[in-house]
Amino acid sequence: MTLIRVSENVWEIPATGGMRVPGRVYTDETSAGRLASDPCLDQVRNVAHLPGIEGYSLAMPDMHLGYGFPIGGVGAFRVKDGVISPGGVGYDINCGVRLLATDLDAADITGKTERLADRLFSDVPSGVGSHGAIERLTAPALSRLMVRGAAWAVEQGFGEGADLEHTEAGGALPEADPDAVSERAFARGLDQVGTLGSGNHFLEIQVVDQVFDREAATAYGLHEGQLTVMIHCGSRGFGHQVCDDYLEVMAAASVRYGIELPDRQLACAPVDSPEGRRYLGAMACAANYAWANRQMIMHLTGESMQKALGLSPRSLGLRLVYDVAHNIAKIETHVSGERNLELCVHRKGATRAFGPGHPEVPPTYRGVGQPVLTPGDMGTASYVCRGTEKAMRQTFGSTCHGAGRAMSRAQALKRAKGRDISRELAAVGVVVRTQGRKTLMEEMPEAYKDIHEVVDVMDRTGVSPRVARLRPLAVVKG
């Protein structure tokens, strides 16, 4: 496939055939040379065929093969004549990241890291079949959670109202419609809120080991040597079921509305159609479930750390820096050309990066832009970046979401055969606790792209410059 270089780190797929807009790929020169035969580019091109797409079909440097859209893909569709697609959101709706800061330095847990990891592993439910930290919800309670999101968790005693200000969208999308959620999805959501899950989800104790932008780091309350916590999880089986339900609905809707698809995995409906609005309502319920989930896990994490370290809440000083969504479709207003447009922005394995001055950025961060949380593999590093005005102009306020997989889970299992990944991580100073050896093998560091290179691309483009690097000390996985 032809890739035309636009700038140092931006490459373009020209609009040909049924493409309504060009594709744009953010990457470096080395990776661009390997992309010619990558099926991800076909997915970028396919997304560009969908009705109402504005500007470009975008792909971030962490992109890899997904369902319909590439993971690492962004597509913005005009509400008046565009579409909404479950494939542009993914199965784990609002899989996202929450960063917590503490008043501790890494030196304060010297000799206590193993104990801390053990306690977190015990206190925070994780794994495929894990059940929530509260008793099984009733259907009416789950309906309220779907509408209220993180605020519901706060109302149940899990956190403080101030946490909502530092959560994307205040921790709840207003379009949530429990009536659009199936009985099967309801059943799957009753006992999983407050659980970490499995796969690439994690709870990680980290240290800020380098600051690149002191003004932004100070605004975010971060400094070198500081102990932080990162939580990565989503909407669990509830969100998976919502996606599954609506893929079937959208397959029929695509035919009904005469939408020609280059790939049936891109099944969709007009945003303003009954099917489109119902999916948006159900997806918002799952997104709000995920925000409630991370809010509860944050509270459990704080209690667990206090017990493990023998500290009072005041001495620990645990507080929310920010929470961002990775898999979501949101109605937003953006400037495209000279027009203000209402767009349905799909971010799949991509994250929001709103710039300074935007009204949706918390007042305390408005001078420097929204915190962008970019987790890496569990043996290397994660990054805090920041949103910019360039992101608003170039990528609909979007950027990369993490390292991105470099190999499939099957390939990782084959590569890890006969190895002790836990011991390998211990050798580089990372304590790991996990429910299953298989998960650890699937998620080993080399299964992912180089997080430093991924973040560097978006830093050089000015879309999401680096603020700080976080090095893992202990990881809890399902």
Terminal Cα distance for the chain, rounded: 39
Number of domains, the chain: 1
Out of 64, 358, 401, 452, which one is annotated catalytic?
401
Question: Alpha-carbon distance 252 to 259, whole Å?
Answer: 10
Alpha helices, H only, 225-271: 236-256
Domain that holds residue 214: 4-477
Which pLDDT score is estimated for 36?
77
Q: How confident is the model at residue 128 (pLDDT cuts 50, 70, 90)?
A: low
Residue 350 pLDDT exceeds 70: yes
Mean pLDDT confidence for 192-210: 93
Distances (CA, A) of 256 to 88, 249, 309, 420: 20, 11, 59, 53
Annotated catalytic residue 334: no
**Which of 435 and 319 is assigned the larger pLDDT?**
319
Question: Alpha-carbon distance 472 to 478, whole Å?
Answer: 17
Per residue in 233-254, pLDDT (tens digit) is: 999 999 999 999 999 999 999 9
Residue 56 pLDDT exceeds 70: yes
**Which of 362 and 34 is assigned the larger pLDDT?**
362
Q: How confident is the model at residue 127 (pLDDT cuts 50, 70, 90)?
A: low
**Which of 323 and 438 is assigned the larger pLDDT?**
323
Which pLDDT score is estimated for 337?
82
pTM: 0.96
| CATH number of residue 247's parent domain | 3.90.1860.10
Q: How confident is the model at residue 336 (pLDDT cuts 50, 70, 90)?
A: confident
Residue 129 pLDDT exceeds 90: no
287 phi/psi in degrees, rounded to 5: -60, -40
Mean pLDDT confidence for 333-360: 96
Which pLDDT score is estimated for 33?
85
What percent of the chain has a predicted confidence (pLDDT) above 70?
99
Mean pLDDT confidence for 216-227: 98
